[in-house]
C-alpha cells in the first residue's frame, strides 16, 4: 500500500491573459494636414494583485510625425499616456495558502500603433494602440505526493570509485559547439 504526504511548495497559483486595444487623442501644436508616421516607445508598467484580478498600471509615449501648413512643414508631437488593465485570473489554485505571493506580468505584445488618423475636428490625431499581457501569481500551495519507501536508494549507490574515471576521454569536451 502506498503512503502519501502533503507538501507545501511555491507554484503558479493564478494565471490570466488580456489583450487590449485603446484609442488616444493626441493634440499637436499645429493643425495636421497629413499623418507621416506614428510609433509607441518608452513602455513602463507595474502589476499588483487586487482580489481575484491583477491590475497592470503603465504608461508609454506616443509619437506622431505629421505635416502641417498645407504639407510644407513637418513636426513630431509626443504625448505620454497612462493606462490601467485589469486582468481576470482564469486559473486559480484553490489549495493556495497564505497571503504571501509574487505577481509576474509579461508583455506578450508591446504597445504598438495600429492606426493614426486626423480626427473629425481636423485639429487632433486619433491613435489606436494594442497591447497584451500574461500575468501569473506565484504563491504557496499544498500538493499530495505518493511515497515509495522501498524504492529509496542507499547513499552507497551514489559512490564512485576512483578507477571509474580512468576510461574517460579528456578530449571529449570541446571549447565551442559548432554545427
Give the mean pLDDT of 1-10.
Answer: 82
When pLDDT is cut at 50, 70 and 90, the band that residue 156 belongs to is low
Which one has a higher pLDDT value, 9 or 173? 9
Q: Confirm if 74 and 36 have CB atoms less than 8 A apart.
A: yes
Q: Confirm if 32 and 67 have CB atoms less than 8 A apart.
A: yes
Q: Rounded to whole angstroms, how far apart are CA atoms 54 and 90?
A: 11
pLDDT over 80 (residue 178): no
Predicted pLDDT at 159: 63
State the pTM of this model: 0.74
Domain coordinates in residue numbering, the chain: 3-149
Sign (positive/negative) of CA torsion 40, 41, 42, 46? positive
Give the mean pLDDT of 45-63.
Answer: 95
Amino acid at each position: 500500500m502506498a503512503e502519501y504526504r502533503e507538501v507545501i511548495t511555491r507554484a503558479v497559483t493564478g494565471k490570466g491573459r488580456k489583450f487590449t486595444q485603446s484609442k488616444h487623442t493626441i493634440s499637436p501644436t499645429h493643425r495636421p494636414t497629413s499623418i507621416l508616421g506614428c510609433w509607441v516607445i518608452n513602455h513602463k508598467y507595474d502589476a499588483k494583485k487586487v482580489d481575484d484580478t491583477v491590475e497592470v498600471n503603465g504608461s508609454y509615449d506616443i509619437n506622431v510625425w505629421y505635416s502641417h501648413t498645407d504639407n510644407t512643414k513637418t513636426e513630431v508631437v509626443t504625448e505620454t499616456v497612462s493606462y490601467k488593465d485589469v486582468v481576470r485570473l482564469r486559473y486559480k489554485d484553490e489549495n493556495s495558502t497564505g497571503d504571501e505571493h509574487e505577481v509576474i506580468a509579461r508583455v506578450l505584445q508591446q504597445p504598438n500603433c495600429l492606426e493614426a488618423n486626423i480626427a473629425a475636428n481636423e485639429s487632433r490625431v486619433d491613435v489606436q494602440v494594442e497591447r497584451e499581457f500574461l500575468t501569473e501569481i506565484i504563491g504557496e500551495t499544498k500538493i499530495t505526493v505518493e511515497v515509495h519507501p522501498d524504492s529509496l536508494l542507499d547513499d552507497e549507490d551514489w559512490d564512485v570509485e576512483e578507477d571509474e574515471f580512468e576510461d574517460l576521454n579528456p578530449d571529449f569536451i570541446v571549447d565551442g559547439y559548432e554545427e
